[in-house]
Amino acid sequence: MPNDEALDYGVLCCRWKYVQYKGVAGKKGYCGTIMKLRQQETDPSKGIADAALVFWWRALEATGKGPSTMPSGISVDLTSETDEEPSTTRLDRSANRCPQSRSKEQAVPKDEQTVLKNALGNKVVRQRKRSRTEASGETEFLPSLTPRKVRNSLMEKFIASSMAVKFEALLAEPRTHFDFLAGSGGATTGAEEAGSVITFLLDKSLNACNSLRLAFPRAHILHKILGHFLSNDRFYEVATAHISYPCKTYSPAHTAEVGTCKYDYENEDTACSVNDIVRKTRAKIVTFEQTDGMVRYEKNKHVWRRLLRDITLAEYSVRWRVMDATEHGNPSTRNRLIILTSCPGHPLPDFPPPRPGPKNTIRKTLDKVGPVRDIEEHMQRHSIKDEPSYDDNLTLAYTIVCKSSKGDLHPSGKRSFNMQELAMLAGFPRRRKFAPACMTALREMFGNAVPVGLAKDLYKMVHKGLDDGEAEMGRWLVGVGALTNEDVKRVMRKKEPEMIDLSMEAEPRWKKKLRATQTTRFDDGEVIMIDDEDVIMIDDEDVIMIDD
């Protein structure tokens, strides 16, 4: 259509909305949103159900071909002035067929011949003849009274049940997670604490992969370069994914021009893999973490714009904000650019609010380290220093970086933090294990780590977004007749954890009797060995039993 005709007769469509929040004193803030319009925001009869888009996206093959059964109303005629019923899909046509009916045909059907193989591998030819009757010049198939009718009925029931199972799976997908460029696993640890099932972890560093194997023994650890991983044809469908692109090139500590350092161009090229990653994972929600220097400094704006373009070209909605990790339990200062994205039709989660109460401090964190004898040998390493002491009842003012810096100083001033202390100041819990490595490699992992508290709070909101998306999917499946309300409720009940109330008032029909069980007390008076498996509570003095 020529430009003039397009201006006069073209249909103007709005599919996206962009929101930019202002910063201090009217300056442009580092928080914004680019979202696809939701169905309730579109004109009547011109929108597509959000859950239908999620179904379309999750079932879409990487080649770009749609699923065999497209949801009803997946395409909308924007030029039509009247509201018309959506065209019937193949699913609707197959559902409307009556299995017992037989259409009349003028042509006489030919006999069918099928070549099969038996269990020994020999060919078996099965021939089936069609019966017919002629009346008034028409040829009509006789209603089949043979076992073939039974087979067809069973097949149709099997197809219907398998489709129902497929639809129910959309409501109860496991919260599987893929962490790209996982490093030491800060984001992965936070996601696991929020309820994600860690499934795949990828990093090119051998030291990082060794630590990830210790921390996540059930996950698949992929020791690969991202480019090599994306070049294969395997698919890794998950519910959520996290991407932490290399940040050194865009960090405030990177004062040289881009391209002067060894890995600058490689890091820029790595940041262009959004489309390939979402094609492999089909994740409903993808999170990103990056240094705030990507949006603060003009020299990095071209990379930031390209990242937004790649995300929106993948049809993902995006929301970003610079967040302070100390507001989410981190004891050291760390400002990170957090990006939330969601696939077509899926609700876009909000950012987590700051945690209430006072911020975490150096003293509180070091008190959790425990005695030195309980720390692994490679985590006890530190360097000797001679600096003035300082107050440790504060948040660490410096960001933990990949190398020894001003922030790497124990409150005594006589040494640096050992590796265990440094890991906990970076946000890792005490229980996290790290594989043996040199101090340089460990510092690099901790300096690049996503604060665990921030990742945990973030993924709590991500799971809330997944819950909202599954609720929308349930309403849509009921609306199109794929499932019933009872089916949806049954699936949702299976997802809920079983809660058992052990209070005395909860079950008055119980006959409760207290008695002491046989115990053995050792000489130190601190350890008690219980010989009865039915103990539910242990006090310092007594052991209390409840019998049915």
For 388-402, letters b (16+ CB in 10 Å) and e give eeeebeebbeebbbb
Q: How far apart are CA 209 and CA 229, in angstroms?
A: 15
Give the closest residue to 99 by CA, choosing from 158, 151, 164, 153. Answer: 153
Asked whether the beta carbons of 360 and 329 are under 8 A apart, the reply is yes
Q: If you write DSSP's letter for every residue of 196-223 in order, what string do you get?
A: -EEEEEEES-HHHHHHHHHH-TTSEEEE
Assign 252 to helix, strand or coil: coil
Rounded Cα distance, 230 and 279, in Å: 10
Active site annotation includes 247: yes
Closest CA to 318 of 373, 243, 254: 243
d(CA 127, CA 115): 9
Say if CB 310 and CB 249 are below 8 A apart: no
320, 339 Cβ separation under 8 angstroms: yes
Strand 220-223, strand 197-203: pairing: parallel
Other CB atoms closer than 10 Å to residue 423's CB: what's the count?
Answer: 27
What pairing do the DSSP bridges indicate for beta strands 519-521 and 528-530? antiparallel
Catalytic residue among 247, 261, 343, 438: 247
Parallel/antiparallel/unpaired status of strands 112-117 and 123-128: antiparallel
What single letter denotes the amino acid at residue 228?
H
Separation CA 521–CA 519 (nearest Å)? 7
List all residues 6 or more positions away from 331 whose beta carbon is below 8 Å from its beta carbon: 359, 360, 361, 362, 364, 365, 395, 396, 424, 425, 427
- Distance, in Å, from the CA atom of 389 to the CA atom of 411, rounded to the nearest integer, reads 5
Beta bridge partners of 317: 342
297-312 burial, b at 16+ Cβ within 10 Å, e below that, comes to: eeebeebbeebbebbb
Reduce the secondary structure of 361-385 to three states and give it as a string. Answer: CHHHHHHCCCCHHHCCHHHCCCCEC
Kindly report the CA angle at 408 between 402 and 413, in degrees rounded to 5?
A: 165
CB 422 within 8 A of CB 399: no
Residue 502: φ, ψ to 5°: -100, 10
List, by residue number, the catalytic residues: 247
